[in-house]
């Protein structure tokens, strides 16, 4: 392994003044990142609790509304996100081994996956909007409301949960674009790849949220 | 590695206004928080006095009913979100915590500065609502009123949402700092209890605040987009809002009180010249309170239609809070027992804290009792109770901390006599203001009304007089502290002869805190052979 590591040609990183050394900085940042994800879980929590509460109260209506979602598009997005989690790991490994081309390649794959996810999401949203299936007071689909009076509430939760998740995906795409820029400047190498590792952790978290959202909204029932 | 020139302090090196505005130094950020918090304390205080003036007689004195609703809303929102919550952790904690750990800064200095500016943005938004029709929901934003009122509630919700992220980032920062930046020799068992308290507070901030953030976002979305989660007309449930809100806002009560307990933990051993009684029990009690905090939110909802079983469980769990709290109070008293007690201003505030906080705590147990709470719910008894805890607890703890660390902040001493006088004035004024409110509550005076039946006049007038005594006490404090800031006697590095690390550095400390690499060789409270 050691022989394959190319430490040459990368920009040197100086740890901030209040850290003992680069490792101290790396593990402190990682610690902070885990804490950040802890707060992220709690940030999503009320939406999940609200979903369970209303599913419990309006079981039939929620089942009926959920069946109107296109599980195939949801499944495509699940595959896209899992693949992108894999390419992120490959990017981190490439950086650790000093393989800058591999790093750039995998960052690009990841960004493509991110956009792919957003495009599928856009297709889903626009078909719903075309049918007048909108959240809460905006619901404009008489047939659906007739069959399931609480469908507006279901779609409120659907749009807010997937919307908040999509917002996280968008932020992730932005971060990867920033990392791509850094990689092109050869700033991410075996000695310093902290922002890459942290964005990777974030991306896995975003992936994981979807892993819960997909069965909860599209599959159950 | 220690860059700041000899003889400079964090206050004067580097120089210039710009160096302050973009500073990454935790001490400067702490002082910027302190200035902001004190400013908003003044604003919130003016609202409080306005409320008390209106209540001086049952007739309409100076506010219309709508204006009164807005006045108590602003008093509540400003005091809770912009004063009491950031008061000790973000202002004092920011300054003291890294010093106590022997660190050069917090773990993420840039995030720390961002927290401050996020806080400023939230404050600006909160103040801006006054020019867009005001807010009249109370600080609790209860639905369905908050989703229907035509006031500037959406902007205020956004302000509280944004303020929440400032709080989360500060908590996250402090946790990582305690995890990773402790001095050599400083294990968890050598941490000053103030650090334990700030740490437990941070845990709550990171775990509870996001729930509030999203909940307030849902209310805002309800107002602008009609998503219906809390709107019965769309199948939603307003009581769900109360659950979400109190899931944050009850732990938030401990965000307010734990740091104050942390300050008292430092002050009492130093001014008794004795090791703290039961260090481990004290640390455990802090965490016990933080833990139980997450399982008691339902006691705000005894009258909101929970089942009897749920009410009973929340009542029972709420009473458990009294156990770790009791451990702390008795340990403080045991620390003072046979100590060599010095009555300086911080210690006077610590005594005031103990006296007032115990009343606040015990009346909390009364309110946790189901049958009693049905009677006391939404009366002045509740108002008196939480002011005894928030003002008597947090604010007195803050004042103890402000006087205790003032020499470290600015390197100057204050006029000891005036400080004691002001502390006594505030203590007397406080009790004159709020003790009558217990009686008014028991007699059934409801909160949040601009008027009352004539029988309540005498006690209300007493309460109003008390509030002006408090104001007098604080103006006196403003006077001698301002004087000390400019003309105070030099403090020296350790005027109180304390043993925690921040006192080993100069007063005020230089940039990067220490001119040497601090090593911890003794516990924070190992006072030896000093008894007089």
Residues linked to residue A95 through DSSP beta bridges, in sequence order: none
Question: Cα separation of B460 and B434, whole Å?
Answer: 10
Reading chain B (532 residues) residue by residue, the pLDDT tens digits are 456 788 899 999 889 999 999 999 999 999 999 999 999 999 999 999 999 999 999 999 899 999 999 999 999 999 999 999 999 999 999 999 999 999 999 999 999 999 999 999 999 999 999 999 899 998 899 998 999 898 899 999 999 999 999 999 999 999 999 999 999 999 999 999 999 999 999 999 999 999 999 999 999 999 999 999 999 888 899 999 999 999 999 999 999 999 999 999 999 999 999 999 999 999 999 999 999 999 999 999 998 888 999 999 999 999 999 999 999 999 999 999 999 999 999 999 999 999 999 999 999 999 999 989 989 999 999 999 999 999 889 999 999 999 999 999 999 999 999 999 999 999 999 999 999 999 999 999 999 999 999 999 999 999 999 999 999 999 999 999 999 999 999 999 999 999 999 999 999 999 999 999 999 988 899 887 554 4
> Phi and psi at residue B498, in whole multiples of 5°?
-90, 165
Q: Give the count of Cβ contacts less than 8 A between chain A and B.
A: 111
Count CA within 13 A, CB hemisphere, residue A133.
22
Token pair in block for residue B293 = 């905090």
**What residues contact residue B325 under an 8 Å CB cut-off, 6+ apart?**
B285, B289, B361
Residue of A nearest to B213 (CA): A43
Q: How far is B173 from chain A (nearest CA, A)?
A: 7
Is the bond preceding B14 in cis, omega lying within 30 degrees of 0?
Answer: yes
> Quick one: pLDDT at residue A4?
53
Token pair in block for residue A19 = 């850290």
Question: Cα separation of B199 and B140, whole Å?
Answer: 26
Q: Are A89 and A190 in contact (CB under 8 A)?
A: no
DSSP state, B414? -
For helices B345-368 and B308-320, what crossing angle results, to 10°? 160
Q: Which one, of B9, B48, B38, B23, lies nearest residue B434 by Cα?
A: B48
DSSP state, A97? T
Burial A126-162 (b: 16+ CB within 10 A, else e): eebeeeebbbbbbbebeebbeebebbbbbbbbbbbbb
> Quick one: pLDDT at residue B392?
87
Residues B180, A156: C-beta atoms closer than 8 Å: no
Residues B207, A18: C-beta atoms closer than 8 Å: no
Burial B225-242 (b: 16+ CB within 10 A, else e): bbbbbbbeebbbbbebbb
Q: Cα dihedral angle (A138, A143, A149, A152), rounded to 10 degrees?
A: -30
Helices (H), B273-379: 279-293, 308-320, 322-336, 345-368, 370-376
Residues B227, A28: C-beta atoms closer than 8 Å: no
Burial B426-445 (b: 16+ CB within 10 A, else e): bbebbbbbbbbbbbbbbeeb
Q: Is B410 left (phi over 0), alpha (psi -120 to 50) or beta?
A: alpha
Q: Which one, of A110, A209, A113, lies nearest residue A162 by Cα?
A: A209
- Return contacts of B66-70, CB within 8 angstroms, 24+ apart: B66/B136, B68/B450, B69/B136, B69/B138, B69/B448, B69/B450, B70/B134, B70/B135, B70/B136, B70/B151
Task: Say which of B1, B111, B229 has its CB closest to residue A156.
Answer: B229
B contacts of A45 (beta carbons < 8 Å): 210-211, 214
Instruction: In chain A, count H helices and then E strands.
Output: 7, 0
Annotate B349-411 with DSSP letters as a single string: HHHHHHHHHHHHHHHHHHHHSHHHHHHHTTBHHHHHHHHHHIIIIIIHHHHHHHHHHHHHHHS
Residue-wise pLDDT tens digits, A185-202: 999 999 999 999 999 999
Q: Which one, of B365, B350, B364, lies nearest residue B427 by Cα?
A: B350
Annotate A39-78 with DSSP letters as a single string: HHHHHHHHHHHHHHHHHHHTHHHHHHHHHTS-HHHHHHHH
Q: Which one, of A202, A148, A133, A198, lies nearest residue A172 by Cα?
A: A202
Q: Is the pLDDT of residue A221 over 80?
A: no
Q: Once rounded to an integer, what is the mean pLDDT over residues A17-34?
A: 95
Residues B244, A46: C-beta atoms closer than 8 Å: yes
Question: Cα separation of B399 and B194, whole Å?
Answer: 15
The share of chain A scoring above pLDDT 70, in percent, equals 96
Residues A35, B225: C-beta atoms closer than 8 Å: no
Q: How far is A17 from chain B (nearest CA, A)?
A: 8
Helix-strand-coil split of chain A, %, nearest 5: 80, 0, 20
Q: Are A220 and A144 in contact (CB under 8 A)?
A: no
Q: Residue B317: how many CB atoms within 10 A of its CB?
A: 17
> Quick one: pLDDT at residue B446?
96
Token pair in block for residue B239 = 């009581």
Residue spans of the domains in chain B: they are: 24-504
> Quick one: pLDDT at residue B233?
87
What are the distances in angstroms from CA B241 to CA A50, B154, B362, B420?
10, 16, 28, 44
Residues linked to residue B490 through DSSP beta bridges, in sequence order: B412
Residue-wise pLDDT tens digits, A34-62: 999 999 999 999 999 999 999 999 999 99
A contacts of B215 (beta carbons < 8 Å): 46
> Quick one: pLDDT at residue B216?
95
Question: Cα separation of A130 and B503, whole Å?
Answer: 67
Count CA within 13 A, CB hemisphere, residue A57.
16
Q: Which one, of A85, A73, A77, A88, lies nearest residue A124 by Cα?
A: A73
Q: Residue B340: how many CB atoms within 10 A of its CB?
A: 13
Q: How far is B214 from chain A (nearest CA, A)?
A: 6
Task: Decide if A171 is inside a domain.
Answer: yes
Token pair in block for residue A195 = 């922002």
Token pair in block for residue B169 = 């980032």
Q: Is the pLDDT of residue A137 over 90?
A: no
**Structural domains of chain A, count:** 1
Question: Cα separation of B192 and B203, whole Å?
Answer: 17
Question: Cα separation of B452 and B58, whole Å?
Answer: 5
Domain residues for the domain of A166 are 59-219
Which positions in chain A have a beta carbon within 8 angstroms of at least one beta carbon in chain B?
16-18, 24, 27-29, 31-32, 35-36, 38-40, 42-47, 49-50, 53-54, 57-58, 135-138, 149-150, 152-153, 156-157, 160
CATH number at residue A72: 1.20.120.80
Question: Cα separation of B419 and B21, whole Å?
Answer: 31
Residues linked to residue A192 through DSSP beta bridges, in sequence order: A189
Range B24-504 classified under CATH 1.20.210.10:
yes
> Quick one: pLDDT at residue B7?
85
Residues A35, B172: C-beta atoms closer than 8 Å: yes
Q: Is the pLDDT of residue A27 over 80?
A: yes
> Quick one: pLDDT at residue B114?
98
């Amino acid at each position: 392994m050691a022989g394959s590591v190319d430490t040459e040609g990368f920009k040197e990183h100086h740890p901030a003044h209040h850290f003992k050394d680069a490792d101290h900085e790396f593990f402190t940042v990682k610690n902070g990142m885990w804490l950040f994800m802890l707060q992220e879980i709690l940030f999503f929590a009320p939406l999940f609790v609200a979903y369970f509460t209303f599913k419990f109260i309006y079981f039939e209506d929620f089942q009926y509304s959920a069946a109107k979602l296109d599980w195939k598009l949801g499944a495509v997005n699940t595959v896209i996100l899992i693949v992108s989690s894999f390419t992120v790991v490959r990017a981190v490994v490439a950086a650790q081994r000093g393989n800058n081309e591999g790093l750039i390649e995998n960052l690009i794959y990841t960004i493509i996956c991110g956009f792919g996810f957003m495009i599928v999401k856009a297709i889903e949203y626009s078909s719903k909007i075309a049918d007048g299936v909108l959240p809460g007071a905006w619901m404009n689909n008489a047939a659906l409301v007739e069959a399931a009076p609480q469908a507006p509430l279901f779609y409120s939760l659907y749009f807010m949960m997937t919307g908040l998740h999509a917002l996280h995906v968008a932020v992730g795409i932005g971060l990867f674009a920033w990392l791509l820029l850094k990689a092109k400047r050869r700033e991410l190498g075996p000695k310093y790849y902290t922002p890459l590792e942290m964005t990777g952790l974030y991306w896995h978290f975003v992936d994981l949220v979807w892993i819960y959202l997909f069965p909860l909204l599209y599959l159950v029932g | 590695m220690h860059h700041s020139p000899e003889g400079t302090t964090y206050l004067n090196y580097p120089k210039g206004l710009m160096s302050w505005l973009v500073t990454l130094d935790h001490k400067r950020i702490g002082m910027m928080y302190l200035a902001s918090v004190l400013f908003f304390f003044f604003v919130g205080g003016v609202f409080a006095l306005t409320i008390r003036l209106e209540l001086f007689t049952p007739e309409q004195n100076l506010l219309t009913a709508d204006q009164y609703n807005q006045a108590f809303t602003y008093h509540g929102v400003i005091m809770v979100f912009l004063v009491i919550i950031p008061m000790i952790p973000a202002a004092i904690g920011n300054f003291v915590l890294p010093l106590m750990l022997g660190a050069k800064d917090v773990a993420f200095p840039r995030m720390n500065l961002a927290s401050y500016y996020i806080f400023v943005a939230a404050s600006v938004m909160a103040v801006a609502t006054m020019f867009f029709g005001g807010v009249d929901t109370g600080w609790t934003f209860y639905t369905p009123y908050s989703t229907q009122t035509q006031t500037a509630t959406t902007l205020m919700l956004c302000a509280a949402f944004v303020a929440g992220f400032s709080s989360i980032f500060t908590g996250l920062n402090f946790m990582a700092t305690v995890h990773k930046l402790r001095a050599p020799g400083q294990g968890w068992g050598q941490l000053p209890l103030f650090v334990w308290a700030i740490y437990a507070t941070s845990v709550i901030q990171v775990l509870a605040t996001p729930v509030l953030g999203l909940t307030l976002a849902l209310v805002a979305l309800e107002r602008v987009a009609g998503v219906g989660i809390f709107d019965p007309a769309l199948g939603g449930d307003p009581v769900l809002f109360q659950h979400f809100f109190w899931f944050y806002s009850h732990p938030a009560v401990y965000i307010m009180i734990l740091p104050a307990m942390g300050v008292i933990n430092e002050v009492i051993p130093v001014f008794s010249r004795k090791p703290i009684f039961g260090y481990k029990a004290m640390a455990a009690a802090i965490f016990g309170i933080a833990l139980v905090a997450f399982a008691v939110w339902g006691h705000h909802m005894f009258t909101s239609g929970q089942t009897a079983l749920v009410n009973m469980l929340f009542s029972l769990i709420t009473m458990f809070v009294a156990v770790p709290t009791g451990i702390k109070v008795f340990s403080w008293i045991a620390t003072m027992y046979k100590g060599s007690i010095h009555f300086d201003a911080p210690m006077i505030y610590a005594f005031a804290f103990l006296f007032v906080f115990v009343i606040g705590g015990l009346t909390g147990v009364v309110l946790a009792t189901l049958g009693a709470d049905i009677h006391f719910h939404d009366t002045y008894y509740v108002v008196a109770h939480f002011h005894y805890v928030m003002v008597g607890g947090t604010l007195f703890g803050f004042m103890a901390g402000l006087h205790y660390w003032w020499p470290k902040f600015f390197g100057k001493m204050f006029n000891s006599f005036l400080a004691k006088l002001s502390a006594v004035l505030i203590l007397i004024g406080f009790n004159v203001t709020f003790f009558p409110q217990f009686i008014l509550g028991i007699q059934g005076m409801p909160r949040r009304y601009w008027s009352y039946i004539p029988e309540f006049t005498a006690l209300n007038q007493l309460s109003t007089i008390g509030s002006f005594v408090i104001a007098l006490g604080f103006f006196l404090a403003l006077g001698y502290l301002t004087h000390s800031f400019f003309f105070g006697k030099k403090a020296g590095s350790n005027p109180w002869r304390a043993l925690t690390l921040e006192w080993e550095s100069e007063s005020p400390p230089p940039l990067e805190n220490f001119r040497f690499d601090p090593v911890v060789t003794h516990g924070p409270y190992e006072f030896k052979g000093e008894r007089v």
